[in-house]
Amino acid sequence: MRKAFVGLIAATLFMFAFSFMLVPLYNVFCEVTGLNGKIYGPSDFFKSEQEIRERNVNIRFLSQVNESAPVTFYPSSESLEVVTDKVSKTSYVARNNTNKTLTLTIVPSVSPGLAAEQVKKIQCFCFEEQILAPYEEQEWPIRFYVDSELRGNVNDIYLSYTLFENNRETSMVMHHDS
């Protein structure tokens, strides 16, 4: 009886730990399946001559500022005709509209989600937090390539960046009298 009891307590604790294990498991799962169009860390460009297969793909860039963060944020060009397995460059512009220093996180999203894995970024402002001094404007470069592993029927990819202001106090529900 004691053994069963201890076993069940252990199972409970294991399941509690398991719920936290779901977080990294989910990220792995996303990476494998392209769920949510998430993109992960920087890639390097390793392609031998034989592996390179070129075709044209249209990439469109979107920007979104979450919860009216006081930042002007837009792509410097709205779309780009790129060639697979060739490195391309573009940039986004961000301007701090306040007299305070802002720390920002920029989250990428790719649509269609299944193409996320093939949009490989070599350099991106989304890899780390960005800091903007008061009223500062910065141009943030991206270097990336589209892998020719991309499924044949995908000719058109959206790359969207959502800008979040870090450590911002928010309440989406109640209004505290200001």
Partner 1 sequence: MSAVVESHDHHHGPKKGLLRWLFTTNHKDIGTLYLWFSFLMFLTGGAMAMGIRAELFEPGLQLMDPIRYNQLVTMHGLIMIFGGVMPAFVGLANWLIPMQIGAPDMALPRMNNLSFWLLPAAFTILLSTAFMEGGMPGFGWTFYAPLSTNYPNIAYFVFAIHIMGISSIMGSINVIVTIMNMRAPGLSLMKMPLFVWSWLITAYLLIAVMPVLAGAVTMLLMDAYFGTSFFDAAGGGDPVLFQHIFWFFGHPEVYIMILPAFGITSHIISTFSRKPLFGHSSMVYAMVSIAVLSFVVWAHHMFTVGMPLVAELFFMWATMLIAIPTGVKVFNWVATIFKGSITYETPMLFAIAFVVLFTIGGFSGLMLAITPADFQYHDTYFVVAHFHYVLVPGAVFSIMAAVYYWLPKWTGNMYDEKMGKLHFWLSFIGVNVTFFPQHFVGLAGMPRRYADYALQFAEWNAVSSIGAFLFGLSQLLFLYIIVKAVMAGKKATPEVWDGARGLEWTVDSPAPYHTFEVPPKITEQTKL
Partner 2 sequence: MAYMKKELGLLTLLTLPFISSADWLDVNMPVGVTDISEEVFGLHMLMFWIMIAIGVVVFGVLFYAMWKYRRSNNKTAADFEENHKLEIAWTVVPTIILILMALPASSLLKKMYDHEAEEGGIDIQVIGWQWKWQYKYLDEKVGDKPLSFFSNLTTPSDQYETNQATKGENYLLEVDEEVVVPINTPIRFLITSNDVIHSWYMSDFAVKQDAIPGFINVAKTTINEPGVYRGNCTELCGERHAYMPVVVRAVKQDEYQDWLQSKKDAAEQVAFLTEKDWTLAELMEQGEEIYNTRCAACHQMNGAGIPGFYPALAGSDLVLYDKPKHIEILMEGVRGSQMQSFAEQLNEVEMASVITFTRQSWGNDRAGDGEIVIPKDIVEYKQKDS
Is the torsion defined by CA of 35, 27, 80, 91 positive or negative? positive
CB burial class (10 A; 0-12, 13-18, 19+) of residue 92?
buried
CA proximity to 122, closest of 77, 89, 159, 81: 89
Residue 158 binding: pick among partner 1, partner 2, none (C-beta 5-8 Å cut-off by kind): partner 2
- We find the least distance from the C-beta atom of residue 175 to partner 1, in angstroms, to be 11
- Interface with partner 2 in residues 125-144 (CB under 8 A): 135
Taking residue 32's Cβ as centre, other Cβ atoms within 10 Å add up to: 9
Distance (Å, rounded) from C-alpha 8 to C-alpha 64? 48
Name the site residues for partner 1 (rule: CB under 8 A): 1, 4-5, 8-9, 11-16, 18-20, 22-23, 26, 30, 33-36, 38, 66, 105, 107, 113-114, 162, 164-167, 170-174
Residue 178 binding: pick among partner 1, partner 2, none (C-beta 5-8 Å cut-off by kind): partner 2
| Strand extents, DSSP E, 24-136 | 56-65, 71-75, 79-83, 88-96, 102-111, 119-123, 130-132
Binding-site member from 97, 101, 123, 166 for partner 2 (CB under 8 A): 97
- We find the least distance from the C-beta atom of residue 65 to partner 2, in angstroms, to be 8
User: Among residues 72 and 87, whose Cβ is nearest to partner 2?
Assistant: 72
CA proximity to 30, closest of 19, 45, 41, 44: 41
Total residues contacting partner 2 by CB under 8 A comes to 42
Q: Which residues bind partner 2 (CB under 8 A)?
A: 36-37, 58, 60, 62, 64-68, 70, 72, 74, 78, 95, 97-98, 107, 109-112, 135, 153-156, 158, 160, 162, 164, 168-178
